[in-house]
Amino acid sequence: MKLPRFKLGRPQQIAGLLLLVFLGECLFVVSQQQLSPTDFRYARCGREMWERPSPLAGYFTTCGNLSGDGTFAYRLAGFPLTAQRLLLLASDRFRSPADRLYSGSSLNGSTWEAHLQLSSLKLLIHLPFILFAVWLGTGLWWVARRLFGNEGGAFTLALYILSPSVIASAVTPNNDILAMWGLFGLVYTAIGVAHAMHGPRSKWRPRLLLLTIALGLTAAAHLLAAMVGFLASFAVMLYLAERRRSAVMQILIYSALGALLIVFAFFAFRPSAFIYVFTGGSSRFWFSTFGVRQLFANPLNAPVTLAFALSLLLWAAIRRSRYFGNTAPLLVGLPLLFLLPTQTFMAPWIWAIPFLLTFVGGIFADAFETRYRKLFLALAAAILLTEATATLPTLKLLARP
């Protein structure tokens, strides 16, 4: 399969600049933070997953069996530290015993006792989550640009990089940023699979593999996000597949089996720990307006709230705006605002942000093509300027004490 050619034109340069701004925002916030007990917990238990079995009999790690929390964030937080530890051990093999910097007793002893000998702890623990947020921003821009053109893609990405909720999620070890990344990728991969189903079967396989990986990684972050993504994928594929609809359920069943294997691998193929995924209550939820209040009642989100309200009004009033590209992210994102897990401390309203921003970007892109183009361009610029004015001076406040 040939890889698509990548052209570094003006749209890509603008997107790259915006993502660099986002990266700078996140790194600034991290520089103002102090390592917290939560950071140490994610890093310690993540390293235990990579390096050695749990010292507690009957438990996967010292954090327990993680029945109500995904393993993805733990492994991600612990991986850079484990990699650095292995590099230190490897480099010491080339030194004489008298010149070794790290004694075998310290690095080969307890998993976490060696943390004082590792460097750049704060950056290493937080950087993977920042990079996944940048990856999500790249995917968001790519989807919005494919659907709505250069202006729609740039406006959507600009809203994303200025969102205080996204920045706050990206600068702490957590599964929400990973569930948001996985769920968005899962739904739009399913859309890509549905389009590929109209072509020869040889073109299905790479996208089916991506669908399985996306579903598995989302489930490794949070089971509820994977369940929502599975249902959303079923709906969009059923709508788009048309004459191939009979194959949709078969594809999703095989993808779900592959996803279970991926989650099993995240538990190091230990059945005793893996079984808690189904018995720990991580998928239990109810409905609440808590997420709506968290997102739209935040004064820092006032410009985005205005943009979303106006987009919703235009979508309802103008028939030509109610096409699939605009409607699908709204129908996926809006219900997420009302989900409230009852057994975990997850925040599904954060998972909704990329979908809602895609919806806003699509509606504004349509408005840019009307005779009111100048008015909506000025309105979009005012929204971004107001959001930047509200968010950038408060970045330091997003850092935990």
Q: 46-92, pLDDT tens digit by residue?
A: 988 888 755 555 677 777 666 566 889 999 999 998 888 888 777 76
For the cut 60, the answer to whether the pLDDT of residue 322 exceeds it is yes
Torsion-angle region of residue 198: left (phi > 0), alpha (psi -120 to 50) or beta? alpha
Closest CA to 218 of 173, 276, 179: 179
Name the residue among 63, 86, 58 with its Cα closest to residue 75: 63
Ranges of each domain in the chain:
37-122, 133-398
Q: Which residues, 6+ apart, have CB-to-CB distance to 399 below 8 Å?
A: 29, 30, 32, 33, 171
- Work out the end-to-end distance of the chain between its first and last CA atoms, rounded to an integer number of angstroms: 49
pLDDT, average across residues 264-274: 87
Which tokens hold the place of 62? Answer: 């010292």
Residue 263 near residue 216 (C-beta atoms within 8 A): yes
Higher pLDDT, 134 or 204: 134
pLDDT digits (tens, 9 = 90+) for 183-223: 999 999 999 999 988 888 777 788 899 999 999 999 999 99
Bridge-partner residues for 341, per DSSP? 285
pLDDT band at 134 (very low <50, low <70, confident <90, very high): very high
Q: What is the pTM of this model?
A: 0.91
CA distance 11 to 6: 12
Residue type, 28: F
Alpha helix (H) ranges present in 162-203?
Answer: 164-170, 176-196
Q: What is the pLDDT of residues 230-247, one digit of tens each?
A: 999 999 999 998 888 888
So what's the pLDDT on residue 52?
72
